[in-house]
Every structure is written in structure tokens, then in C-alpha cells.
């Protein structure tokens, strides 16, 4: 612990502030878990709670796949090529992060409502967005896309041009270079982006609730329980549900870390 022995005021101040930061992040979570322990078993067995969590995870999964299919090629182009309007697009990507999420929901509703041209067109194919899984997925995809795109863009950017040129000169087509070299090397960053996007999608409330109040996702359900819309409400009723979400988030986070550290070892 060399840095303690240095007794530098700067190091000391940073340490104290750092500890405060960690406490700020961890106390509410621990408090939520601690206060909800009595109600936790019933939350685990409540079908409505479990259904809401399943809806969230499932829709977030679909949203991630959607963003992955459209976002990965885009992120690759963005990392590799220069084109007109690139800087403009660069700021557009971040817009969903910057605007309030219920505003995002309203924006989506305005173009996807059955009465609008786009919503109407989809309706012809039997796809509706208001109060459907499609609506949830679209709202989730909209707010989580930047996370995946940015992570993937950075991951692609870290694969050197020389690496790709070398592969090309060895007889690989552009697609083969992507498939055998660039994508595998960027995989860890892309997976991280997927996790971020998925987690962001799971936690989305504002945009989802406006486009699709039903079927209820976990955050919407949690809000309902807190407001007492399904009977007895308040903190006491809502805490076990939120704790369940926290536990699942922690399990998934560690599972992911474990999995990606394995791919990293393979890469190295």
C-alpha cells in the first residue's frame, strides 16, 4: 500500500471522496435489499411480478437483436470510412441518450400510432405498436441503440487498418476480413455493448410506458405497485419487486463478466 505511505493530501482527499462516491452508490441498493427481505419470498412466487420481469427481459433481448442487426454494420462503416455528414450523424446517434425518455416515447407514438402513415402501413401487415410487444421492443431499441453502436464503433476502431490490410493481401474479401478478423477481435467490445443496450432496455420506463402500458414490463409494473394501482401500494409493496430486479441484474452482470473474461483469454 505504497500510496497510503506517501501521505499526499491529494491522494488522501481523493480516497475520502472516492469512498463517499462508493457509499452513495451502494447504500440505497443495500438498503433496498435489507428492507425487503421479509417480502422477498412472495415476490419470487408472485406470477404477475415474474411475468413482468420475463416481459422485460424478453423484449429487451429482442430489442438488442434488432439494434445489433442494424447497428453493427452501421458502427463498422462509421469506424472505418469517412463520408459526408459523418459529424452530423455522430451527434444524431447520441440523441436518444440526451432527450427525456417520455419525450422519446411521445416521438415514437407520433409516427407509429395507427393513424399515422408509418403506423398505418405496419397495420396493413398486422403489426401494431400501441400496447403490444412490438411497441415495447421499439421503445427499448430506440433508447438503447446508442449504447451498442458506440461500444461496437470503439471496438471496431481498435482493430488496426494494418491488420485488415494484411488480411486483404492474404486473399480475404472485405466480408471475409470482417468475419474472420475484425469481428472476432472486436467481439468483446460488441458483447459489452450488447449487455449495456440490453440492460438499458430492461430498465426503460419513460418511453415504454407511453407507447405500451401493456403488456407490463418490470419498471412499469414496479411503478404500478408503488402507486398502489393493484391493491395495497407504497414502498413496502414495491421494495421486494425492485430487490428482485437488483439481484437479477447483479447475477447477469457477473455472469457476463465471467463469460467475456473467457473470450478475452481466448483472444490473448
Q: Which parts of this chain interact with other proteins (CB under 8 A)? A: 160, 162-163, 165-173, 176, 180-181, 184-185, 266-268
Q: Residue 68 in contact with residue 194, Cβ under 8 Å?
A: yes
Shortest spacing between CB 51 and other proteins, in angstroms? 41
What is the H or E stretch that residue 117 is in?
Answer: helix 117-124
Shortest spacing between CB 162 and other proteins, in angstroms? 5
What is the H or E stretch that residue 177 is in?
Answer: helix 174-177
Minimum CB distance to other proteins smaller for 42 or for 173: 173
Minimum CB distance to other proteins smaller for 165 or for 236: 165
Minimum CB distance to other proteins smaller for 98 or for 266: 266
Minimum CB distance to other proteins smaller for 169 or for 232: 169
Grid-cell match 407509429, residue found: 112
Minimum CB distance to other proteins smaller for 145 or for 167: 167
Q: Per 3-state DSSP, what percentage of the chain is helix, strand, and coil (rounded to 5)?
A: 80, 0, 20
What's the grid cell of residue 188?
468483446
Minimum CB distance to other proteins smaller for 104 or for 159: 159
Shortest spacing between CB 192 and other proteins, in angstroms? 17
Shortest spacing between CB 171 and other proteins, in angstroms? 4
What's the grid cell of residue 114?
395507427
154 burial (CB, 10 Å; 0-12 / 13-18 / 19+) is middle
Q: Which residues contact 139 (CB under 8 A, 6 or more apart)?
A: 104, 105, 108, 204, 207, 208, 210, 211, 212
Shortest spacing between CB 89 and other proteins, in angstroms? 25
Shortest spacing between CB 266 and other proteins, in angstroms? 7
Q: How far apart are CA 202 and CA 56, in angstroms?
A: 5
Minimum CB distance to other proteins smaller for 36 or for 182: 182
Shortest spacing between CB 9 and other proteins, in angstroms? 41
CA dihedral angle for residue 106, residue 131, residue 123, residue 148, rounded to 10 degrees = 60
Q: Residue 141 in contact with residue 63, Cβ under 8 Å?
A: yes
Amino acid at each position: 500500500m505504497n500510496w497510503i505511505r506517501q501521505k499526499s493530501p491529494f491522494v488522501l482527499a481523493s480516497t475520502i471522496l472516492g469512498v463517499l462516491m462508493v457509499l452513495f452508490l451502494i447504500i440505497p441498493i443495500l438498503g433496498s435489499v435489507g428492507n425487503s427481505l421479509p417480502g422477498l419470498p412472495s415476490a419470487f412466487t408472485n406470477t404477475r411480478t415474474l411475468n413482468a420481469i420475463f416481459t422485460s427481459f424478453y423484449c429487451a433481448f429482442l430489442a438488442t437483436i434488432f439494434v445489433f442487426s442494424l447497428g453493427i454494420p452501421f458502427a463498422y462503416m462509421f469506424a472505418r470510412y469517412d463520408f459526408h455528414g459523418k459529424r452530423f450523424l455522430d451527434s444524431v446517434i447520441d440523441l436518444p441518450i440526451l432527450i427525456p425518455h417520455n419525450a422519446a416515447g411521445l416521438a415514437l407514438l407520433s409516427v407509429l400510432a395507427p393513424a399515422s402513415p408509418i403506423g398505418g402501413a405496419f397495420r396493413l401487415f398486422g403489426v401494431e405498436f400501441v400496447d403490444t410487444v412490438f411497441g415495447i421492443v421499439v421503445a427499448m431499441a430506440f433508447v438503447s441503440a446508442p449504447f451498442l453502436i458506440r461500444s461496437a464503433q470503439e471496438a471496431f476502431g481498435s482493430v488496426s487498418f494494418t491488420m485488415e490490410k494484411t488480411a486483404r493481401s492474404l486473399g480475404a474479401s472485405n466480408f471475409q476480413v470482417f468475419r474472420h478478423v475484425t469481428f472476432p477481435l472486436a467481439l468483446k467490445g460488441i458483447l459489452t455493448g450488447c449487455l449495456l443496450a440490453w440492460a438499458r432496455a430492461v430498465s426503460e420506463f419513460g418511453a415504454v410506458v407511453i407507447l405500451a402500458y401493456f403488456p407490463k414490463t418490470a419498471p412499469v409494473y414496479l411503478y404500478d405497485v408503488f402507486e398502489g394501482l393493484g391493491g395495497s401500494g407504497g414502498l413496502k409493496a414495491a421494495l421486494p419487486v425492485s430487490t428482485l430486479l437488483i439481484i437479477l441484474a447483479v447475477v447477469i452482470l457477473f455472469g457476463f463478466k465471467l463469460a467475456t473474461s473467457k473470450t478475452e483469454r481466448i483472444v490473448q
